[in-house]
Amino acid sequence: MENSDITQTWARFGIEHLSASAINSFISSPARFVVSKVLNERTPAGAAALRGIAVEAGLMALASVPDLSVDQAVEEAIQQLNVQMLSAGILGSTPSAAKEIDRAASCIRAGAAAFRALGQPLLNDDGRQHKITLDLGVGVPIIGYLDALYPSLICDIKSVSRLPSDISASHGRQFAIYAAATGLPVRAFYVSERGVAQFQAVGTEVYLASCRDTAVRIARFLGHFENREELLAACPPPDLSSYQWNSEQDRALALRVFGTFA
């Protein structure tokens, strides 16, 4: 596929950039990619995703403010989590939401010492995450946002229910983009209620090639269609048993877009 054809395909479907999340989404669920990147429709984050955001906020606060106590960090993170849940229409009193709130507090406590041992991360003046941009030669830039940036290291925080024994392929692609964009090594910081597992990201070139290949495959797939209507008529329907489609809002979106609910 010629570069001019790829560029025209992205423009036809209004795609100005890709990300590790978008690439991984296409691999695991083309329907989710189409809904989020072509239709620009998203459902509110679920309780588990919001728990991950709260854990990251709590650990970053601990690393950035030396005299902040763990109890203070937990309290502030949980307050933020409750606000975000309310905004997403999630009642914190429901069993599933209450479980994620408790899990967030436990994860922050479990990861506090290990994360602080990495040192004080570099912060933007506006308090936002550091943005990275990478040119993979696929017609649009690849963008991403770093959890914790240090002078000689990137650390990405993953709040999990069970500690993994290694970095997953989807995370490997994400970390390869970070490493290529910054020239820095990436450390995966997995934290659960029971402790921490840390891994140095490896295989950057292999994962980067996978990202490049997948981006081209996305463009080739989209290039078969002249408009959104044609694309939706041919796109594989969502697997509603997948975690990506398991909320009521997800199912309603699938029904409205794809006419499927089972």
Helical (H) or strand (E) element with 47: helix 47-64
Q: Using pLDDT thresholds of 50, 70 and 90, give the confidence band for residue 186.
A: very high
Q: What's the CA gap between 207 and 195, in Å, rounded?
A: 28
CA angle 78, 149, 202 (to 5 degrees): 105
Confidence bin at 261 (pLDDT 50/70/90)? low
Residue with tokens 């692609």: 173
pLDDT value at 213 more than 80? yes
| Domains of the chain, start order | 3-40+126-258 (3.90.320), 47-116 (no CATH)
List Cα–Cα distances, 170 to 3, 31, 174, 191, 244, in angstroms: 26, 17, 7, 17, 14
Q: What are the b/e assignments for 139-166, b being 16+ CB within 10 Å?
A: bbebbbebbbbbeebbbbbbbbeeeeee
Mean pLDDT of the chain: 93
Cα–Cα distance, 214 to 18 (Å, whole number): 11
Contact 75, 128 (CB under 8 A): no
pLDDT tens-place string over residues 88-115: 888 777 888 899 999 999 999 999 999 9
pTM above 0.85, yes or no: yes
Q: Which residue has the tokens 């308090």?
A: 127
Comparing 5-14, 97-106, 124-133, 184-193, the range with the smallest average pLDDT is: 124-133
Joined tokens for residue 59: 């650990």
229-246 residue pLDDT tens? 999 999 999 988 888 887
Q: Which residues pair with 18 in a beta bridge?
A: 142
Q: What is the largest CA-CA distance in the chain?
A: 58
Structure tokens at 138: 């696929």
Q: Which one is predicted more confidently, 5 or 19? A: 19
CA end-to-end span of the chain: 36
pLDDT above 80: residue 25: yes
| Chain segment 55-81, per-residue pLDDT in tens | 999 999 999 999 999 999 999 999 999
The H or E element containing residue 217 is helix 204-223
CA distances from 200 to 16, 115, 176, 187, 188 (A): 31, 15, 11, 5, 6
